[in-house]
Structure 1
Amino acid sequence: MIRRAFLAFAAVAALTAQAWSAEIGEDGLHKQDWFALTFRDVAEDIETAKEEGKRLVMIFEQRGCIYCAKMHETLLSDPEVADFIKANFKVVQYNMFGDEEVTDLDGEVLTEKTAARKWGFVFTPTLMFLPEEVPEGKTAAEAAVATMPGAFGKWTFLNMFKWVSEKGYEGDEHFQKYHARIINELRAAGRLDAE
């Protein structure tokens, strides 16, 4: 009986680990099967996300980035985090040093690496959250409603997605105050397991 229980536990653990592990693509970046594959036309991606009832978030990563690996293996593998993002956001992955073509909101055609430079990204991962409507005459970086450089703990990461989803950037509650309030609520409910 103990042996059967152990084998059942081992099988579930193996399936869980397999389901939560992110594949690494030919470009050396970790992949989630729910990331969107697009032509990297930012205006088009904003419109497509809106048609799907979602918001666009762009994630810049690079080969060998330990923080990107942490984001995939710890944060994006957490069902609570992944389920919220999948339900509310269209995620497009960019390679900080990639050569794929990108069309910025201002119409300029760049490579991923020149877009990263133009938008001022120097750290990976960097997440850029875009507005629901395509603005005129702005670059993606100028139009972004929020940018998150780095892989933080679960609640900071998830709360940023929630804050953007709730359009917190339009209100008076700065993200840091929003995050502190949510942490206090989680603590009071006995749900705080990280941070």
Structure 2
Amino acid sequence: MRRTVLILAALTALSGLAGAATMGDDGLHKEDWFSLTFKDVAEDIQSANDEGKRLVLIIEQRGCIYCAKMHEELLADPEVADYIKANFKVVQFNMFGDEEVTDLDGEVLTEKTAARKWGYVFTPTMIFLPDVIPEGKTTAEAAVVAMPGAFGKHTFLNMFRWVREKGYEGDEHFQQYHARIINELRAQGKLTGE
């Protein structure tokens, strides 16, 4: 009886975890706050703008250990997840998927042909889009930056902050921005690693 109560308590605690990713039929981890769209990149940029957010596309694939790390460690961290949810519209792409995608240049593709066209070969890859819809450019050409891989918490979170603050328009390169933020956190005693 005691064992049953402990198991039920553990299951209840796990089911109550906010932001816990589930596994989709396509083998990709799913966050309940990811946006389900028609994958028309121009429409998604406009929709993000209407919400006061920026658009980021995340390309993943089934069995990707780094995608799992991103979901299980980074996106499960409330500080990271809360910042992204408040500031970004996130649309997930399957690197080998067959869902229809409309590129910024108007070409209709599948997820897998879009990933190939855009030249993205690593998963996860975060593609940060501008807040102004460019004319005649592909999604890859329009991206303000792309981040391949699941880095440590602060590198990952600082990339989202740098994009939100439009650091790419200024003179402070992301690596300089990241180093400055890390040094500030260390000086405040809020960080001992990374």
Q: TM-score with structure 1 length normalisation?
A: 0.91
CA distance 1:147–1:188, shift in 2 (3 Å): same
Question: Deviation at 1:21?
Answer: 3.2
Unaligned runs of 5+ in 2: 1-5
Q: Which amino acid aligns with 1:120?
A: G
**What is the distance in 1 between the residues matched to 2:16 and 2:186?**
28
Asked if 1:88 is matched to 2:87, the reply is yes
1:34-45 equivalence runs, <5 A? 34-45=33-44
Question: Deviations 1:76-127 (Å, cap 9, x if unpaired)?
Answer: 0100000000000000000000000000000000000000000001100000
Question: Deviations 1:26-73 (Å, cap 9, x if unpaired)?
Answer: 000000000000000000000000000000000000000000000000
**What is the distance in 2 between the residues matched to 1:31 and 1:194?**
29
Aligned twin of 2:188: 189
**What is the distance in 2 between the residues matched to 1:45 and 1:19?**
25
Question: Deviations 1:127-169 (Å, cap 9, x if unpaired)?
Answer: 0000001000100000000100000000000000000000000
CA distance 1:50–1:67, shift in 2 (3 Å): same
1:148-163 equivalence runs, <5 A? 148-163=147-162
**What is the distance in 2 between the residues matched to 1:114 and 1:156?**
29
Aligned twin of 1:107: 106
Asked if 1:56 is matched to 2:55, the reply is yes
Unaligned runs of 5+ in 1: 1-6
Native 8 Å contact 2:19 2:31 kept in 1: no
Aligned twin of 1:134: 133
Q: TM-score with structure 2 length normalisation?
A: 0.92
Aligned twin of 1:98: 97
**What is the distance in 1 between the residues matched to 2:15 and 2:187?**
29
Native 8 Å contact 2:19 2:32 kept in 1: no
Native 8 Å contact 1:154 1:194 kept in 2: no
- 2:120 is paired with a residue whose SS is coil
Question: Deviation at 1:17?
Answer: 7.7
Asked if 1:117 is matched to 2:116, the reply is yes
- 1:118 is paired with a residue whose SS is helix
Aligned twin of 2:3: none
CA RMSD, 1 decimal: 1.9
Aligned twin of 1:164: 163
**What is the distance in 1 between the residues matched to 2:27 and 2:11?**
28
Native 8 Å contact 1:169 1:175 kept in 2: yes
CA distance 1:13–1:156, shift in 2 (3 Å): farther
CA distance 1:150–1:179, shift in 2 (3 Å): same
Q: Which amino acid aligns with 2:176?
A: K
Native 8 Å contact 1:155 1:194 kept in 2: no
Percent identity between the two aligned chains? 79
Q: How many residues get paired?
A: 188
